[in-house]
Amino acid sequence: MIELKSASEIQQMSRASLIAAQCLTFLKNQIRPGVSTETLDRQAEQFVLDRDGECAFKGYRGFPAALCVSVNDEVVHGIPGERILCTGDIVSLDIGVKIDGFYGDCAITVGVDPISKEDLFLIQTTEAALYAGIEQARAGNRLFDISYSIQQHAEQHGFSIVRQFVGHGIGRSLHEEPQVPNFGIPHKGLRLTEGMTLAIEPMVNTGVCEVFVDEDGWTARTADGRKSAHFEHTIAITSGDPLILTSF
Ligand code: MG
């Protein structure tokens, strides 16, 4: 069942979403060669706690950190640790925040400059694919209109879409119905209505779309070892334009 949110509930969700978005902006400015991924995690956790938020990922099904940090061939759900970032790496940062009983969830991919032209293009294309999907998040459209737009954008530029992980509804739970795939047939899927709140999150690979989860039980990696990028926004469907709750 899909839980529709009232305007005041969406207002409440925007608090968590704003903290999550501001946290990523803060972390983006900490990315440089020599920084460890666990340092980013500590900074993220402190940022959220200082604003009276809860770190939604910490302890979620046993995930050990506040922040997912996925470097290069890591797609999503990377566990922060001793790894030191190097020039040329691309780093996906994913944070979930809970406050006032509601969740917000967002992700960005950042290069440790200078990065290759190909990697920059991957990052830019993934972000643009997210916005192409959001553009379709309108009352009256179908769910897979979002999915199809994302897929089209990524594939037109020569990249592949991860299928094993998808976006999701979000609100009083971190993961609600419906699932939001990043691929699909246009004009299919459930009818979108005002009050739906979704976390839309394309994961785009340079090479093949296949991924596997490594032995830590969390980190998803590309099957061919090539790079992957991830962007995510929490959005609300309104009577007009989609509302991006994790923007600032
Ligand atoms: Mg998510």
206 in Cβ contact with 159 (< 8 Å): yes
- How many A from CA of 164 to the centre of ligand 1? 13
Distance CA 100, CA 32 (A): 34
Express each pLDDT in 9-50 by its tens digit.
999 999 999 999 999 999 999 999 999 999 999 999 999 999
What are 240's two structure tokens? Answer: 């007009």
- pTM for this prediction: 0.98
- How many A from CA of 176 to the centre of ligand 1? 10
Express each pLDDT in 156-179 by its tens digit.
999 999 999 999 999 999 999 999
37 in Cβ contact with 44 (< 8 Å): no
Contacts of 146 by beta carbon, 8 Å cutoff, 6+ apart: 133, 134, 136, 137, 180, 192, 198, 200
What are 111's two structure tokens? Answer: 């290069």
Neighbours of ion ligand 1 (CB under 5 A): 105, 199
- How many A from CA of 127 to the centre of ligand 1? 15
- How many A from CA of 158 to the centre of ligand 1? 24
Q: Is 178 left (phi over 0), alpha (psi -120 to 50) or beta?
A: beta
233 in Cβ contact with 106 (< 8 Å): yes
Express each pLDDT in 136-151 by its tens digit.
999 999 999 999 999 9
As a whole number, mean pLDDT of residues 217-229 equals 98
Express each pLDDT in 63-110 by its tens digit.
999 999 999 999 999 999 999 999 999 999 999 999 999 999 999 999
Using the Cα atoms of residue 8, residue 150, residue 189 and residue 139 in order, give the sign of their dihedral: positive
Tell me the helix, strand and coil percentages in the chain, rounded to 5: 30, 25, 45
Cis peptide before 64 (omega within 30 of 0): no
| pLDDT at res. 248 | 76
- How many A from CA of 119 to the centre of ligand 1? 22
Distance CA 196, CA 203 (A): 22
